Structure 1
Amino acid sequence: MATIRTQWQRIQNYIWLVCGLVCLFAALIFWAITDSDALVEVEKSAETEAELQIQPEKVAATNLLGALQKEVRPLEMTTRVVNTATYEPEFRGTKFINDNKNAATIELFRATKDDVIRSFLKKQSDRKNFFYIRLSGENQIEQYVLLYGIYGNSDQAKQALQQLPFQFPKSIQPQVHEIENYAVLVNDMGAEEMGSNSKLYAVNLKSAPLPRIDESLVVPPKPKPTVPVVDPKAATTTTTVTRRDEEGNVVDVQQSHSGVESAPKKNGNKVAETEISDPFN
């Protein structure tokens, strides 16, 4: 019985497989009949008048490129640097270089930190001929240069170099330089342009005598109020007794006065003690 069922299931599976193949073959025949190689040409519609007017305007707009170049100027890399660090009043920038580009000066020494120059300036009593600048650039290490004096030419600077009142170690050799040689490496604003508030002031102290005090103008101290001394004998105590009825009315008032008796003073002399002798002893 089981074998009959399995054979019948196989027959059904074959039938479904044959039906599927027949349907697929029919679909291929139908597709081959209906398919055609005819090409359909799509004609491009003519451009409207509005589109034809817009195209020349687009081309004409390119002729106006750069028309606002004068109104909006391009960025220029010539701006000066304003350093927020606190410098001494002797710090100078490009304005100092441009004003004295035809003069000469004495370069005392260079340092990578401005603290070295600031400490040197604080030790000087006269700082009017000192200036220092900051050198910076692409191929230049940041340095601070201390300058001394402004001279008309290099000959005057060389004469002043021989008369310098400073003593430096052998490793430091002051030299004469033209100020315009620093123009390429200086791009700062000096302390005189920024309005530095750290200006130097000289304070002269003089001895002054102490003022004399007029004793007549001195206000005398106010006397303290005296408290009266109460005699203990005259001290009394007053006692008031008020009697009221049930309604709260005053019926009787009695007052009594009592004095405080002073304690008797102890006699400093002791009473002589009497001896009692026993007659039987």
Structure 2
Amino acid sequence: MSDANVINVEKFHFFVVGKTDKLIQNMSGVRCHMSLPVSVGVLLVGLPYSISLAAQWLYGWPNKPGYKKYIEALKPRRIYCLTRAVLETLKYLQYGRLYFQWKSWYKNEENRKHYEKDNIVLIGHSAGAHLCTLAALFLIDGREELFIEPSKQAAITLAIRGVIGLSGVYNIVDHYEHEQKRGVEYVSTMHKAMNGVENFPYYSPTHLLKKLSQDKLDRIPPFALLHGTDDIIVPFDSSAKFCDLLTSLSVKVSLYLLPRVDHTEIVTDLMVPDRRFYHPIYSCIKQEYRKLLGAW
């Protein structure tokens, strides 16, 4: 009888254990089903809102009165656009590697016995291309804000053999309108760098070119413009329109539209030869560099 009791107890024990296991499995399933929507919510809602709100807090809220700026800041389209823009800028971290590589090249250049200071080719990417272009045009126009003596300005102008622009911004007004369409104009540093929207034409190479006299236009160095067709930060129309303007003013210019290249790849792929677009981009730059030095 005691043996029967033991067997019954053991059966009851296994029955309870079995029920407990099923209960644990059910609870695990509930947690799994609950964690999936939470994870998706964090990924699709929490993360984008956190990134975009942090960006707007750092760079400035929308230009709206009172509480309306916060309503504007929370619009889903603006959240999506800002998050995408912030993630795109993370690619610029690759610039660090490029900086150290160029620094090494510069040291090697310094070690050479002969440095041709009268053969200068300006090259820049994005805002750098804009600054190179603006510097060349300001020198030709003899702008006092450069804080360079007129005689030195003339000497520097003669030394500049050409300008190579990679994915450059040449019309600040057009670029600001593009940023408005992307919903990132409030976090962009464009209007801050120009000291306000009212100064956009003044710092736009396209507007400056139209005001130069023929004598000054004749002194503009040749241009080589490279732009990727997959660029969403600065559309390739920026270089295409600038090329058309230079051509209409009889300024020597070459335009290269590179298929499938985006805004960062056009410069980061120059870091090492095994990058996907290294050879086509480098070949264009090398070819234009030789042409620019031989054009004078």
Same fold (TM over 0.5): no
TM-score, with structure 2 as normaliser: 0.22
Higher strand share: 1
Q: Which has the higher helix share?
A: 2
So what's the TM-score if we normalise by structure 1? 0.23
Instruction: Return the index of the structure with the highest Cα Rg.
Output: 1
